[in-house]
Amino acid sequence: MKAELACTDITENLCQHCAYCCLKTLLPVNALTSQTYEYLVMVMESRGFSVYAYDEDDGTLLFDMGACPYLRRKGEMYGCGVHGTAARPKKCKKFNCAAWAAVGEEDNTVFTDYALGIYNWLNGGESSGE
Protein backbone atom coordinates (compact mmCIF):
# COMPACT_ATOMS: atom_id res chain seq x y z
CA MET A 1 0.00 0.00 0.00
CA LYS A 2 1.34 3.36 -1.01
CA ALA A 3 1.48 5.93 1.82
CA GLU A 4 1.82 9.06 -0.30
CA LEU A 5 1.00 9.94 -3.88
CA ALA A 6 3.64 11.22 -6.30
CA CYS A 7 2.83 13.52 -9.21
CA THR A 8 3.37 10.62 -11.62
CA ASP A 9 0.71 8.55 -9.80
CA ILE A 10 -2.00 10.97 -10.99
CA THR A 11 -3.07 9.26 -14.19
CA GLU A 12 -6.19 9.54 -16.31
CA ASN A 13 -7.39 6.19 -14.98
CA LEU A 14 -6.99 7.28 -11.34
CA CYS A 15 -8.77 10.58 -12.00
CA GLN A 16 -11.65 8.85 -13.77
CA HIS A 17 -12.20 6.67 -10.67
CA CYS A 18 -11.60 9.45 -8.15
CA ALA A 19 -12.97 12.81 -9.40
CA TYR A 20 -12.73 14.22 -5.88
CA CYS A 21 -11.47 17.61 -7.07
CA CYS A 22 -14.55 17.81 -9.35
CA LEU A 23 -16.92 16.55 -6.63
CA LYS A 24 -15.70 19.12 -4.09
CA THR A 25 -15.45 22.70 -5.17
CA LEU A 26 -13.93 24.33 -2.10
CA LEU A 27 -14.24 28.05 -1.43
CA PRO A 28 -11.76 29.40 1.15
CA VAL A 29 -12.72 32.57 3.04
CA ASN A 30 -11.37 34.33 6.11
CA ALA A 31 -13.52 34.27 9.23
CA LEU A 32 -11.38 36.18 11.65
CA THR A 33 -14.00 36.76 14.35
CA SER A 34 -16.75 34.57 15.72
CA GLN A 35 -19.33 37.10 14.37
CA THR A 36 -17.85 36.81 10.86
CA TYR A 37 -17.84 33.04 11.16
CA GLU A 38 -21.47 32.88 12.27
CA TYR A 39 -22.59 35.33 9.57
CA LEU A 40 -20.77 33.52 6.75
CA VAL A 41 -22.03 30.12 7.87
CA MET A 42 -25.61 31.41 8.14
CA VAL A 43 -25.51 33.00 4.66
CA MET A 44 -23.83 30.06 2.95
CA GLU A 45 -25.95 27.38 4.63
CA SER A 46 -29.11 29.31 3.70
CA ARG A 47 -27.95 28.88 0.08
CA GLY A 48 -27.37 25.16 0.49
CA PHE A 49 -23.59 25.15 0.93
CA SER A 50 -21.94 23.45 3.89
CA VAL A 51 -18.78 24.03 5.92
CA TYR A 52 -16.07 21.62 4.80
CA ALA A 53 -13.40 22.60 7.33
CA TYR A 54 -12.46 25.40 9.68
CA ASP A 55 -8.96 26.23 10.92
CA GLU A 56 -9.34 28.09 14.23
CA ASP A 57 -5.67 29.11 14.21
CA ASP A 58 -5.76 31.23 11.06
CA GLY A 59 -9.52 31.68 10.62
CA THR A 60 -9.69 29.92 7.27
CA LEU A 61 -13.17 28.62 6.57
CA LEU A 62 -13.63 26.22 3.67
CA PHE A 63 -17.09 25.90 2.15
CA ASP A 64 -18.09 22.87 0.11
CA MET A 65 -19.77 24.32 -2.99
CA GLY A 66 -20.66 20.87 -4.27
CA ALA A 67 -19.90 19.03 -7.47
CA CYS A 68 -19.00 20.79 -10.69
CA PRO A 69 -22.11 20.93 -12.92
CA TYR A 70 -20.05 19.51 -15.80
CA LEU A 71 -19.17 16.32 -13.94
CA ARG A 72 -20.70 13.17 -15.42
CA ARG A 73 -20.82 9.72 -13.85
CA LYS A 74 -20.41 6.70 -16.10
CA GLY A 75 -21.02 3.63 -13.94
CA GLU A 76 -18.01 3.30 -11.65
CA MET A 77 -16.17 6.10 -13.38
CA TYR A 78 -16.43 9.83 -13.86
CA GLY A 79 -15.92 12.04 -16.86
CA CYS A 80 -15.82 15.74 -17.60
CA GLY A 81 -18.78 16.85 -19.70
CA VAL A 82 -16.70 19.60 -21.34
CA HIS A 83 -13.49 17.60 -21.82
CA GLY A 84 -11.81 18.58 -25.08
CA THR A 85 -13.84 21.77 -25.44
CA ALA A 86 -12.99 25.42 -24.88
CA ALA A 87 -15.41 25.47 -21.93
CA ARG A 88 -13.08 23.34 -19.81
CA PRO A 89 -11.11 25.66 -17.49
CA LYS A 90 -7.35 25.73 -18.00
CA LYS A 91 -6.88 24.99 -14.31
CA CYS A 92 -8.70 21.67 -14.77
CA LYS A 93 -6.44 20.66 -17.66
CA LYS A 94 -3.32 21.25 -15.58
CA PHE A 95 -4.46 20.23 -12.10
CA ASN A 96 -2.45 17.51 -10.38
CA CYS A 97 -3.46 17.05 -6.73
CA ALA A 98 -0.12 15.51 -5.73
CA ALA A 99 1.80 18.46 -7.15
CA TRP A 100 -0.55 20.82 -5.30
CA ALA A 101 -0.07 18.86 -2.06
CA ALA A 102 3.70 19.11 -2.44
CA VAL A 103 3.61 22.90 -2.21
CA GLY A 104 2.13 25.20 0.36
CA GLU A 105 0.11 24.27 3.36
CA GLU A 106 -1.27 21.10 4.86
CA ASP A 107 -4.78 21.98 3.62
CA ASN A 108 -3.43 21.19 0.15
CA THR A 109 -3.63 17.48 0.94
CA VAL A 110 -7.43 17.65 0.97
CA PHE A 111 -7.64 15.93 -2.42
CA THR A 112 -4.70 13.54 -2.14
CA ASP A 113 -6.01 12.18 1.18
CA TYR A 114 -9.00 10.87 -0.76
CA ALA A 115 -7.20 10.02 -4.01
CA LEU A 116 -4.67 7.87 -2.14
CA GLY A 117 -7.46 5.53 -1.00
CA ILE A 118 -8.67 5.18 -4.60
CA TYR A 119 -5.11 4.58 -5.81
CA ASN A 120 -4.53 1.78 -3.29
CA TRP A 121 -7.92 0.25 -4.07
CA LEU A 122 -7.16 0.24 -7.82
CA ASN A 123 -3.83 -1.41 -7.07
CA GLY A 124 -5.23 -4.28 -5.05
CA GLY A 125 -5.74 -2.68 -1.65
CA GLU A 126 -8.92 -2.57 0.42
CA SER A 127 -12.25 -1.41 -0.99
CA SER A 128 -12.57 2.35 -1.39
CA GLY A 129 -16.09 2.10 0.01
CA GLU A 130 -17.39 3.76 -3.16
Pick from 49, 52, 95, 121 the residue near ligand SF4 by CB under 6 A: 95
Please report, to the nearest 10 degrees, the dihedral formed by the alpha carbons of residues 80, 113, 9, 81 taken in order. Answer: 0
Pick from 71, 99, 102, 122 the residue near ligand SF4 by CB under 6 A: 71
Residue closer to ligand SF4 by CB (options 20, 49) is 20
Where helices occur in the chain by DSSP H, the ranges are 12-18, 20-23, 34-46, 90-94, 97-102, 110-122
Residue closer to ligand SF4 by CB (options 49, 70) is 70
Residue closer to ligand SF4 by CB (options 26, 92) is 92
Q: Which of 78, 92, 109 is nearest to 15 (CA)?
A: 78
Give the Cβ contact number of residue 54 at 10 Å: 13
Q: Which residues bind ligand SF4 (CB under 6 A)?
A: 10, 14-15, 18-22, 68, 70-71, 80, 82, 88-89, 92, 95-97, 111, 115
